[in-house]
Structure 1
Amino acid sequence: MSWSIRGAGASRSGRPPRRAAVVVASMTAAAVGLSVLAGGTAVARPGSGAGAAGVTGAAAKTTGGTPAVTRAALAPSLVAGRGADVDFAEQEAESAATNGTVIGPDRTAYTLPAEASGRQAVRLTPGKYVEFTLPRAANAINVRYSIPDAPGGGGITAPLDVTVNGKNRSTLTLTSQYAWLYNQYPFSNDPGADLLHPDWWITECACVPSATTPAPVISKPFRPNHFYDEQRLLLGKTYRAGDKVRLTVPAGSKAAWTVVDLLDSQLVGAPRVRLDAANVLAFGADPSGRRDSAPALDRAIAFAKRAHLKVYVPPGTYQVNRHIVVDDVTIEGAGSWYTIFKGREVALSTPAPDGSVHTGVGFYGKDAAAGGSRNVHLSGFAIEGDVRERIDTDQVNGVGGAMSDSTIDGLYIRHTKVGLWFDGPMTNTRVTNNVIVDQIADGLNFHTGVTRSTVSNNFVRNSGDDGLAMWSEKTSNANNTFSHNTVQSPVLANGIAIYGGTDLTVSGNLVADPVREGSAIHVGSRFGAEAFAGKLRITDNTTVRAGTYELNWNIGLGAIWFYALDKDIDADIQVTGDHYLDSTYNAIMLVSDFPVKDLYSIKNVRFKDIRVDGTGTSVVSARVAGSASFENVDARNVGAVGVNNCGSFNFTPAGSEFALTDLGGNDGGGTTGPWLAPWELPNTITCDDRPPVVVPPAPTTW
């Protein structure tokens, strides 16, 4: 922890550059990633952590049993009442019938299994299939998949045949045009690119390249990531429970391999019809998608505001290549499977005042500096963007701007930079029942002065940065809640991240499978955020397979981690009722960075009624000054000593600078005995800087 990374400052719609990381310096990340791509075998690296053991791909059974419906690759009973209540059934490919090859489990960044739900998937070559048995009636499916990039980047397309009970064949056109990023933050689409930041620390060579002679030679492609995409399909009729959906790679496919991660099946209702509204067709909108419908939408919105009507968008695909500015208006679609706004990313002739160099499809409130928008209600449609690279100054988000007293409900947002990025000040907005997938950056971010707002029952998968975030840059967010959301497989950063703020709540969420440079739940004093104040309540959340390897520090992160980088973390913080399942390293981490270890602390965090089922190392890892209390924290299958207490690494005669208080009822542990042993209290130094990892068993009913 004795180094820091240089980089540029924060941009308008993105955070400062993150530290680049790989898994083990002695082997290149690209080599491990490509070993999976070429051979279907997940190759482990020494010290890569729990669940990272290599599993040679073997043909799975070609007959299936009872359909296995999961939530984040877990039995639903393990997460009852937590996460989003969705209207689709999730089934993992590795549990389906296949004559393909199962890859994983592996949690090593830059590999296909690591980015898969449950850290496993199925690899198909032409002629091979995976077959799912429908658990209930369905007329629509969604496939999460990966196919190779083009040799020079930019992606390819390839077919995937879909049959039901051996009949009614249709073909999905898969693409890797929105996947496959490489190199250092903010990444490149070019697999042959040299280092984007030659003055940054590179863990592969344990050096700062610009200060190294000779300059390091990196393997190319360097750090491949963001492999997966999703594709939806209406089947044209309703099929019954027990019917077989087979996905087959046809002979002659341009894709040397196709990896299928999972299938979501769904019974989609009829399109919603609203007659007492301003129908966009009457204003010239084109549901075929051939003509630009943005001007027609503007006209419909203007008329609806004058006539005090809602705007209705019937089924169709509408081409929109810029922001639709919304204020004091309701826009309803026929449902997210039927009403689709789809647009190209358009280069601007000159940069916009906010620094954007592109525009694209999105619904935006007015800028907060112009007073923002109010009374905006968006529901029942899809936003399909065309964002293929990360440019943090670009405003190419699905929903953006400032919207107070507003609701966003039932949207499907894909291929934008951030699904929903709100720049406050703004207040009293509800974001509910949305599906946000395949983003280049965050799923949702409350940025700067968002207050009295709620994000509830949303499903986020494959975000390129934090799944859900509150970032109190310059002005605190306050009185906001993230409740009962599901976040799966964030490729970079955290499932749920809170950067400063006042009186905030994170409750009832399910977070699974973070991949790199973050974990499931994060409380961070960083990125220039305002200090934490008032109450922070983290309650009744479940994390699974969380805790990535932070390679700049060369340590594993906790499923939940607190990080004091810019300021002390000293507020009324209570973590209650959380379940941390199958944590790759430790369940709970409190940490600071080495250059500021004697400046900032994390104080008086209270943990109560916690269940820890499986850790690769400890229950608690303390690498900071400060204190925490523990009450009714029960643990089992703990891989190392219960408390790894390094404090702030001064190793004083008085003990660690971090103190633990036992409030009773802290039971269980692992092979080393009780996780919170009397001899560890209050501040015994038990510091093992990089403890060995013991792979925990799969979680079971408590």
Structure 2
Amino acid sequence: MSRSITGAVARWAGGRPRPAAVAVAAMTAATVGLGVVLGGPVVADAAATAASTPVVTRAALTPSLVAGRGAAVGFAEQEAENAATNGTTIGPDRTAYTLPAEASGRKAVKLAPGQYVEFTLPAAANAINVRYSIPDAPNGGGITAPLNVTVNGANRSTMTLTSQYSWLYNQYPFSNDPNAGLLHPDWWITECACVPAATTPAPAITKPFRPNHFYDEQRLLLGRTYRAGDKVRLTVPAGSNAAWTAIDLLDSQLVGAPHVRLVAANVLAFGADPLGRRDSAGAFDKAIAFAKRGHLKVYVPPGVYQVNRHIIVDDVTIEGAGDWYTIIKGHEVALGTPAPDGSVHTGVGFYGKDASAGGSTNVHLSGFAIEGDVRERIDTDQVNGVGGAMSDSTIDGLYIRHTKVGLWFDGPMRNVKVTGNVIVDQIADGLNFHTGVTDSVVSGNFVRNSGDDALAMWSEKTADGRNTFDHNTVQTPVLANGIAIYGGTDNTVSNNLIADPIREGSAIQVGSRFGAEAFTGHLWITNNTTVRAGTYELNWNIGLGAIWFYALEKNIDADVQVVGDTFLDNTYNAIMLVSDFPVKDLYSITNVHFKDIKVDGTGTSVVSARVAGSASFQNVDARNVGAVGVNNCGSFHFTPAGSEFSLTDLGGNDGGGTTGPWLAPWELPNTITCDDRPPVVAPPAPSPW
């Protein structure tokens, strides 16, 4: 979420600052170490790594392992570590603040000037997308560097890579300055196990402190269609000013012809500049006004259009020629005085009217790209790709990059359908339903490299309700969660694929926090697949679960059904239920039911319980479990009666690991099996069940 879970002062858990003395006591009461998980560079030889057939993956997995889950996308993903190269394979590594940890599949290929990585096209393609990282400038702000692209050794073109939108540092809300001191010296610092402002002498903090958000991506139309089997080579020129270039993956795609709408309010007729030399915001406003009077659609033909502020949309349809052809791109503009909503900048974005003014209705946006210019995180700024309130509306087929949040809706509003969009390289969330968004659907979207929750429902002040997140793919959220549900009623999270959350979050979080309204009715979490999830929570100093229930501000006692989900290659736990230490006697988690679950590989346990309450388990099969199946600490009172958290065995719970059956009789109903520092055992790669 845009108000990040990170940056809290010392606390065992929670999202709000607490005094240092209380924080230190809480951290002393319960901490778990971060075990060493994988690592080590490998030098790759081009001949040895060249595959006779291309390796196509989904979330760096064999596609059959995630069949039926996630978004159906028009591109084929190929990981660089599976391609031919004379560079160096880095990873696997899941340690936060490292280059391989933020890569898809936790591996990438690092190239020095003169080196290459070469991909074999798996199908006909005329376009590629490259996910990469290059160094920051010594004092921040980024650099640019070339990357040559050839196909079959010919038809060379050069991409200009940039690190201007990556490389953040320090504590929340982060800095672009690698040489900056601590933003919050009164917060707990895991690295020194102290609160620096309360420590004499103050510890020396290594700079740059906590570098993160290393990757960006860039697309390129190849100018013609190439066949399956053709070779796309990415080469760092010998004279590159980038000391290294890391290639994470390549997406290849066959892009269709531009969409044409002849009978429409064409923005060119109102003075829009398709070469991007002049600001076209006024032309868009005129086209929208004309279209509404004439009951027409607005059409934006191929081109790059400069727009440096919000375009207000209400009762209008805006169509582009396709997100590869119609690009609406803007600068971030500093405001002379802050706006009433607290914004100190504006930038390109399509916004419904504010809910307090009645919101917008009947808005339909499709077939174009929105490219912002956001390089720092300022949570009061409204510099999102799509925003405001828009009921009875659709957003389909957009490509949104370099905004703060891809789509941030402030309700109350209802019946919006967000489908088939690609949202990448955000400073904060991918999408957030905030405050009273109801009866809405987010389906078939692809979100990669969000700077906070990739997809969130946040019921602040007014509950979100009857919403569905379905068949979306989330990859490498740098901070927080893949999918987060903060309160609400009768919501559904289904058939999603969530991979590689990096730190301080989980693939799926159910959280009573951030001032959210209570969970009521039901919450269905069904048929999702997570992989390489269960991250390190920096502030608590413990490992999380791939799915994480967190009772911070209220009980979680709605009917929660977790059914048919698959948790693969979990860094720590598959399932975690937790409360904050200072409120451990106030809030509990109950009425949660796990059924027909598969857990393949945990670094630690299948279930970690650090809260009072209960959950039921039926047909939960586990294998390759690294530690005791259930790590049951309850609410840390360790009473003679046992843990305050009980597990109800409804049968069919099979498999386990090194300690035997994961849900053994001696662990039921509430035997204390608490281990604050379980050893981490790296699980094997997932395989067919």
| TM norm structure 2 | 0.96
Q: Which moved more, 1:179-188 or 1:669-678?
A: 669-678
The one-letter amino acid of 1:49's match is G
1:196 and 1:566 map into 2 onto residues whose CA distance is: 27
The one-letter amino acid of 2:8's match is R
Name the counterpart of 1:49: 35
The one-letter amino acid of 2:331's match is R
**What is the CA-CA distance between 1:131 and the residue it aligns to?**
0.2
Q: Residues 60, 528 of structure 1: CA spacing in aligned structure 2 closer, same or farther, 3 A cutoff?
A: farther
1:610 and 1:619 map into 2 onto residues whose CA distance is: 11
Name the counterpart of 1:25: none
Name the counterpart of 1:638: 625
What secondary structure, in the 3-state scheme, does the structure 2 residue paired with 1:198 have? coil
Listed as ranges, the matches of 1:266-277 within 5 Å are: 266-277=253-264
1:628 corresponds to 2:603 = no
1:19 corresponds to 2:8 = yes
> What's the CA shift string for 1:530-588, capped at 9, x where partnerless?
00000100000000000111132221000000000011000010000000000000100
1:351 corresponds to 2:338 = yes
What secondary structure, in the 3-state scheme, does the structure 1 residue paired with 2:89 have? strand
**What is the CA-CA distance between 1:167 and the residue it aligns to?**
0.4
1:560 and 1:597 map into 2 onto residues whose CA distance is: 20
The one-letter amino acid of 2:515's match is G
Decide which of 219, 235, 249 is 2:236's aligned counterpart.
Answer: 249
CA contact (8 A) 2:311 2:349 kept: yes
> What's the CA shift string for 1:36-58, capped at 9, x where partnerless?
xxxxxxxxxx96436x2221331
1:128 corresponds to 2:127 = no
1:230 corresponds to 2:217 = yes
2:670 and 2:391 map into 1 onto residues whose CA distance is: 47
What secondary structure, in the 3-state scheme, does the structure 2 residue paired with 1:627 have? strand
Decide which of 274, 277, 286 is 1:290's aligned counterpart.
Answer: 277
The one-letter amino acid of 1:327's match is D
1:56 and 1:568 map into 2 onto residues whose CA distance is: 45
The one-letter amino acid of 1:232's match is R
What secondary structure, in the 3-state scheme, does the structure 2 residue paired with 1:303 have? helix
The one-letter amino acid of 1:59's match is A
Q: Which moved more, 1:638-647 or 1:206-215?
A: 206-215
Decide which of 531, 554, 561 is 1:574's aligned counterpart.
Answer: 561
Name the counterpart of 2:130: 143
> What's the CA shift string for 1:428-486, capped at 9, x where partnerless?
00000000000000000000000000000000000000000000000000000000000
2:457 and 2:600 map into 1 onto residues whose CA distance is: 28
2:682 and 2:240 map into 1 onto residues whose CA distance is: 38
CA contact (8 A) 1:640 1:671 kept: yes
Name the counterpart of 2:16: none
CA contact (8 A) 1:147 1:176 kept: yes
The one-letter amino acid of 2:335's match is L
The one-letter amino acid of 1:678's match is P
Decide which of 70, 73, 92 is 2:60's aligned counterpart.
Answer: 73
Listed as ranges, the matches of 1:296-307 within 5 Å are: 296-307=283-294
Ranges in structure 2 where 5+ consecutive residues have no aligned partner: 12-31
What secondary structure, in the 3-state scheme, does the structure 2 residue paired with 1:223 have? coil
2:5 and 2:498 map into 1 onto residues whose CA distance is: 24
1:489 and 1:617 map into 2 onto residues whose CA distance is: 21
Listed as ranges, the matches of 1:156-175 within 5 Å are: 156-175=143-162
1:582 and 1:288 map into 2 onto residues whose CA distance is: 47
2:221 and 2:523 map into 1 onto residues whose CA distance is: 42
Decide which of 44, 59, 68 is 1:59's aligned counterpart.
Answer: 44
CA contact (8 A) 1:374 1:403 kept: yes
Decide which of 342, 348, 354 is 1:361's aligned counterpart.
Answer: 348
Name the counterpart of 1:183: 170
Name the counterpart of 1:664: 651
Q: How many residues were matched structurally? A: 667
The one-letter amino acid of 1:453's match is S
1:526 corresponds to 2:518 = no
Ranges in structure 1 where 5+ consecutive residues have no aligned partner: 1-9, 23-45
**What is the CA-CA distance between 1:690 and the residue it aligns to?**
1.4
CA contact (8 A) 2:351 2:387 kept: yes
CA contact (8 A) 1:320 1:343 kept: yes
Decide which of 290, 310, 318 is 2:305's aligned counterpart.
Answer: 318
The one-letter amino acid of 2:40's match is V
What secondary structure, in the 3-state scheme, does the structure 2 residue paired with 1:648 have? coil
The one-letter amino acid of 2:107's match is Q
1:553 and 1:16 map into 2 onto residues whose CA distance is: 12
How high is the sequence identity, in percent, across the aligned residues? 85
Name the counterpart of 1:468: 455
The one-letter amino acid of 1:588's match is I
Decide which of 647, 671, 687 is 1:684's aligned counterpart.
Answer: 671
The one-letter amino acid of 2:365's match is L
Name the counterpart of 1:34: none
2:43 and 2:302 map into 1 onto residues whose CA distance is: 44
1:336 corresponds to 2:323 = yes
CA contact (8 A) 2:630 2:662 kept: yes
2:675 and 2:422 map into 1 onto residues whose CA distance is: 41
CA contact (8 A) 2:569 2:683 kept: yes
Name the counterpart of 1:458: 445
2:41 and 2:69 map into 1 onto residues whose CA distance is: 34
Name the counterpart of 2:425: 438
**What is the CA-CA distance between 1:59 and the residue it aligns to?**
2.2
The one-letter amino acid of 2:590's match is K
1:98 corresponds to 2:94 = no
2:169 and 2:279 map into 1 onto residues whose CA distance is: 33
CA contact (8 A) 1:630 1:666 kept: yes
> What's the CA shift string for 1:645-695, capped at 9, x where partnerless?
000000001000001000011111112111111111110001111100111
RMSD, matched Cα? 1.3
What secondary structure, in the 3-state scheme, does the structure 2 residue paired with 1:559 have? strand
2:479 and 2:185 map into 1 onto residues whose CA distance is: 21
CA contact (8 A) 1:181 1:226 kept: yes
4+ residue runs over 2 A deviation: 13-22, 46-50, 59-65
Q: Residues 15, 586 of structure 1: CA spacing in aligned structure 2 closer, same or farther, 3 A cutoff?
A: closer
The one-letter amino acid of 1:654's match is A
Name the counterpart of 2:408: 421
**What is the CA-CA distance between 1:18 and the residue it aligns to?**
3.7
CA contact (8 A) 1:60 1:102 kept: no
1:676 and 1:511 map into 2 onto residues whose CA distance is: 26
CA contact (8 A) 2:655 2:662 kept: yes
CA contact (8 A) 1:144 1:262 kept: yes
The one-letter amino acid of 2:476's match is S
> What's the CA shift string for 1:98-120, capped at 9, x where partnerless?
00000000000000000000000
1:476 and 1:97 map into 2 onto residues whose CA distance is: 51
1:15 and 1:639 map into 2 onto residues whose CA distance is: 31
2:33 and 2:185 map into 1 onto residues whose CA distance is: 27
Decide which of 579, 584, 606 is 2:593's aligned counterpart.
Answer: 606
| TM norm structure 1 | 0.94
Q: Residues 59, 222 of structure 1: CA spacing in aligned structure 2 closer, same or farther, 3 A cutoff?
A: same
What secondary structure, in the 3-state scheme, does the structure 2 residue paired with 1:295 have? helix
2:664 and 2:516 map into 1 onto residues whose CA distance is: 36
The one-letter amino acid of 1:223's match is R
1:372 and 1:255 map into 2 onto residues whose CA distance is: 47
1:581 and 1:335 map into 2 onto residues whose CA distance is: 35
**What is the CA-CA distance between 1:93 and the residue it aligns to?**
0.1
> What's the CA shift string for 1:116-152, capped at 9, x where partnerless?
0000000000000000000000000000000000000
**What is the CA-CA distance between 1:217 and the residue it aligns to?**
1.2
Name the counterpart of 2:357: 370
**What is the CA-CA distance between 1:21 and the residue it aligns to?**
9.7
